[in-house]
Amino acid sequence: MSTVGFVSPELEVGCVSQVTGRRTLRSIWVVLTLIALVAAGVWLNNSSLLHGPSAEATTRVLAHRGVHQTFPTKSLDNDSCTATLIAPPRHPFLENTIASMRAAFDAGADVVELDVHLTPDGKFAVFHDWTLDCRTDGSGVTEQTPFSVLKTLDVGYGYTADGGKSFPFRGRAKGLMPELTEVFEAFPQGKFLINYKSRRAEEGTALATLIGERPEFRASIFGVYGGAEPTRAAIASLAGLRGYDRDSMKACIMRYAALGWSGYVPSQCRETILALPVNIARWLWGWPHRFVARMHAAGTEVILLGPWDGGASAGIDHETELGLVSPSFGGLVWTNRTETMAKPIKER
């Protein structure tokens, strides 16, 4: 029997396997090359190594509560009386007072954060705590107390750095709780970030009513944040007002994490304010300079907070933390120690 032209089944299978193997290997290389090219493109599109700060980028400072007495931010809850946890005083200023705000601006702050409560007599009391018992010689819920009463209180009454052995501000701060219009009148060129302490939508519309009556105050409002209901009501009532709440921040971060690699800024991140803990911000596409440039192009202000540890976010409060702020960072840096940190932060 002739064997000319005969190929054994084993040899034929081997040849086919070799060809198939080469094709498979080639396909794998093509896929890996495409993946590498896409990864390189994403990196190039998001690396700040190739996109430094814009020529007009400047680092600005946001003074939390003005110049104030500081306290540890870890292990705090809603019932913590921080006035009894202060460090030994190094200056005479108390949070949310006219003097503390003036000291913050004098130290170099560009924006001062303050807290408000709408009182029964229609005034915005500038005061942090939900109740009066911790800091003042009064008692009860702040928003349920007429401002005419709040103005008589000693807002330094409860401060102590030694467990109640001494009260260094007692008797020195009577009548120093300001009303929001008093703040605006004292600093006609100042900028303020207003923190709503309640969940009452009427606080948002009340701010709009105030601006309707005193339109010259509009320029003083950098933005609003805090309780979702008043924050959103204020934004809806005042054209061009920026603000944020916890849910809006989360929506922006999640959406941007999914789409930001492409350079796209989702609607949740447009015309708003983003206050980002530095240990979260560093993982966002394009951080810091590309990210900030994208947000500015979308009409959004970026505020850099200190590291988030699951509780309250601290500020950039110590010189050892300056390395967390990129040189020529184009947003605002949140600090609790404006008097010592504003200058070194702005020199970054």
Q: 179 forms bridges with which residues in the sheet?
A: 125
CATH code of 144's domain: 3.20.20.190
Per-residue pLDDT at 1: 47
Per-residue pLDDT at 294: 95
In a domain, 24, yes or no: yes
Q: 19 and 168 in one domain?
A: no
Task: Tell me which residue range forms the domain holding 316.
Answer: 60-346
Q: 71 and 162 in one domain?
A: yes
In a domain, 105, yes or no: yes
Measured in residues, the chain has a length of 348
Per-residue pLDDT at 76: 80
* Residuewise pLDDT in 10s, the chain (348 residues): 455 555 555 555 555 566 676 778 888 877 776 767 666 666 656 776 656 666 667 999 999 999 999 998 877 887 899 999 999 999 999 999 999 999 999 999 999 999 999 999 999 999 999 999 999 999 999 999 999 999 999 999 999 999 999 999 999 999 999 999 999 999 999 999 999 999 999 999 999 999 999 999 999 999 999 999 999 999 999 999 999 999 999 999 999 999 999 999 999 999 999 999 999 999 999 999 999 999 999 999 999 999 987 666 689 999 999 999 998 899 999 999 999 999 999 998
Please list, in sequence order, all residues whose beta carbon lies within 8 angstroms of the beta carbon of residue 143, skipping any fewer than 6 positions away: 117, 118, 119, 120, 125, 130, 197, 198, 200
In a domain, 128, yes or no: yes
Q: 14 and 125 in one domain?
A: no
Give the residue numbers annotated as catalytic, written as ranges: 64, 128
Q: 52 forms bridges with which residues in the sheet?
A: none
Q: 81 and 7 in one domain?
A: no
Q: 184 and 225 in one domain?
A: yes
How many independent structural domains does the chain possess? 2
d(Cα 99, Cα 303) in Å, to the nearest integer?
24
Q: 129 and 91 in one domain?
A: yes
d(Cα 151, Cα 156) in Å, to the nearest integer?
13
d(Cα 36, Cα 32) in Å, to the nearest integer?
6
In a domain, 294, yes or no: yes
Cα radius of gyration rounded to whole Å, the chain: 28
Q: 114 and 9 in one domain?
A: no
Q: 71 and 17 in one domain?
A: no
Q: 39 and 82 in one domain?
A: no
Q: 42 and 93 in one domain?
A: no
In a domain, 21, yes or no: yes
List, as own/partner pairs, every contact residues 156-165 make where C-beta atoms lie below 8 angstroms and the sequence separation is at least 24, other chains included. 156/94, 158/81, 158/83, 158/84, 158/133, 158/134, 159/69, 159/83, 159/84, 159/86, 159/94, 159/135, 160/83, 160/84, 160/86, 161/86, 161/87, 161/88, 161/89, 162/88, 163/84, 164/84
d(Cα 347, Cα 231) in Å, to the nearest integer?
33
Please list, in sequence order, all residues whose beta carbon lies within 8 angstroms of the beta carbon of residue 315, skipping any fewer than 6 positions away: 64, 305, 306, 333, 334, 335, 336, 337, 341
CA 168 to chain centre: 32
At 301, list the tokens: 């202000």
In a domain, 55, yes or no: no
Per-residue pLDDT at 52: 63
In a domain, 52, yes or no: no
Q: 292 and 242 in one domain?
A: yes
At 81, list the tokens: 């009386």
Q: 73 and 28 in one domain?
A: no
pLDDT tens figures, 15-70: 556 667 677 888 887 777 676 766 666 665 677 665 666 666 799 999 999 999 99
In a domain, 95, yes or no: yes
